[in-house]
Amino acid sequence: MNVAIVKYNAGNICSVVNAVRRLGTEPLVTDSPEALMKADRVIFPGQGEASHTMTYLRQHKLDEVIRSLKQPVLGICIGMQLMCRHSEEGDTACLGIFDAEVKRFVPALRTDKVPQMGWNTISNTRSPLFKGFAPEEFVYFVHSYYVPLNADTAAQTHYIQPYSAALQRDNFYATQFHPEKSGMVGERILRNFMEI
């Protein structure tokens, strides 16, 4: 299995590389359109800021490449947000794979800290990513922006309000949380992604 990880100006790609290695596969970290198109699986990970990362993707023509991919693609965290239509972060037009708007958390209570940082439960899962899951499982989130529930929501969670923990449309999969940092549960999600 050839697993390619999209190389761009986002942080924390290293932990995704390590997670794929723990599954017994050596991933290729690349920004080459040919390599990405040829891979069996593509992971689009990262931490970062929406407008800077989108600018980089456009300059390197990676926006068109990602949109055109036919194999299973997994966006993680900012990767998922960039796969949406638009983000409030830097008022950024994104890839538009998912017809959804990325919004900033607005604290409702004094105790609502932003970013959300830590382990939260996901439920109402409907995607092969979550094969073999219990009704609620804990996964690790770090984010200040969220995707509201929509037609492509593949798992939901609750922080301040309910929102999308995962999205899926056709061959495009995405998680707001970090499967690479979510212990055994996260490992199962990555393994499920490899087995789709």
Partner 1 sequence: MLAKRIIPCLDIKDGQTVKGTNFVNLRQAGDPVELGSAYSKQGADELVYLDITASHEGRKTFTELVGRIAAAINIPFTVGGGINELADVDRLLGAGADKVSINSAAIRRPELVDEIAGKFGSQVCVVAIDARETDGNWECYLNGGRVATGRNLFDWAREVCDRGAGEILFTSMNHDGVKCGFANEALARLADELTIPVIASGGAGEMAHFRDAFTDGKADAALAASVFHFGEIAIPELKHYLQAEGISVRI
Nearest to 142 by CA among 73, 54, 76, 50: 76
CB of 40 to partner 1, least distance (A): 22
Say how far residue 159 (Cα) sits from the centre of its chain: 18
- Taking the least distance from each CB to partner 1, the nearer of 127 and 182 is 182
CB of 74 to partner 1, least distance (A): 16
User: Rounded to whole angstroms, how far apart are CA atoms 24 and 161?
Assistant: 38
> Can you say whether the dihedral through the CA atoms of 118, 122, 128, 133 is positive or negative?
positive
Residues that bind partner 1 (CB under 8 A): 11-12, 14-15, 18-19, 21-22, 47-49, 107, 110-111, 113-121, 138, 140, 142-143, 158-159, 178, 180-184, 186-187
- Taking the least distance from each CB to partner 1, the nearer of 131 and 158 is 158
Report, as residue numbers or ranges, the catalytic residues.
77, 178, 180
- Taking the least distance from each CB to partner 1, the nearer of 29 and 114 is 114
Stated as kind and residue range, the H or E segment containing 72 is: none
- Taking the least distance from each CB to partner 1, the nearer of 30 and 121 is 121
Nearest to 4 by CA among 94, 74, 83: 74
CB of 157 to partner 1, least distance (A): 9
User: Rounded to whole angstroms, how far apart are CA atoms 175 and 133?
Assistant: 15
User: Rounded to whole angstroms, how far apart are CA atoms 74 and 172?
Assistant: 6
CB of 143 to partner 1, least distance (A): 8
User: Rounded to whole angstroms, how far apart are CA atoms 97 and 188?
Assistant: 25
Angle, nearest 10°, between helix axes 13-22 and 183-195? 70
